[in-house]
Amino acid sequence: MKVICLAENTEGSTHCPYEHGLCYYIETGSHRILMDTGADDLLIRNAQQLGVDLSAIDTVVLSHGHYDHGGGLLSFFQINSTASVFLQKTAFEPYYSMHKDGPKYIGLSELLKGHPQIIELEGNYQIDPLLSVFSDISITVPIPSANERLKRKTGEEYIPDTFDHEQCFVIQEGSRRVLFSGCAHHGIQNILNAYEALYQSEPYAVFSGFHMMKKNYSEEDIRVITDTAYQLKNTHSLFYTGHCTGIIPYEIMKKIMGHQLIYLHCGDQAVL
């Protein structure tokens, strides 16, 4: 399996343009896949630079209904009219981020609704024998504090986002399974618990942001970041991260997890 990061917040060794967003190109023995599509048309430009043929993509999985993960879909549809796009039905709800100057819309474009390539799911789904998604994630470990500013608009009210639009993607390649999660809004430990309940094992590798990025970190934030790193270190999985994890949390976690944690910058690739 080969994974190329087509969109992410930081510059990698290939010096591709970068943005606040996430998009992975995944190449397996039988599939050409996108996990998320970034915030705009950056995936198109970086795919050209990196030699990725987006017209050959057969499957797209959208991790959740935020623009920085689904904003590139309209551009993608201009060059690919055959790929199936899987997202949770609730991904089209109106999502906002709360700021000092007021709420900012961070949901998907209205132009995507009803698109013939989009398949709206309600819960777990088996795409084919090798590809599946799950969204039924119980909260037994506290979710990231950075979630607090994220809301769903209902009528004229902004209510806490429960992230029922978040789904995780699992690929089986031979005897290995690899887990993909966009931002882990449910918390990476809760997601791993849900995975293990479904598959009775640990994933070989995990590609996920940890949604720990903040402007300022309290002592409690640092404690949670440190505790999370020790929990992940106690697994047998390899973790690739980026996007919403944040550089400071990554550096703290890297000191604890060592080779078990890798930052995948924009343009970087991993071969499993």
- State the average pLDDT for the chain: 97
Weakly modelled stretches of the chain, pLDDT under 70: none
| Angle, CA of 5, 8 and 11, to the nearest 5° | 90
pLDDT at 230: 98
CA distances from 133 to 61, 102, 153, 181, 221 (A): 8, 34, 26, 10, 30
Q: What are phi and psi of 215, to 5 degrees?
A: -75, -40
pLDDT at 28: 98
Q: Are 87 and 125 in contact (CB under 8 A)?
A: no
pLDDT at 51: 97
Q: Are 257 and 228 in contact (CB under 8 A)?
A: no
The superfamily CATH assigns to domain 2-271 is: Ribonuclease Z/Hydroxyacylglutathione hydrolase-like (3.60.15.10)
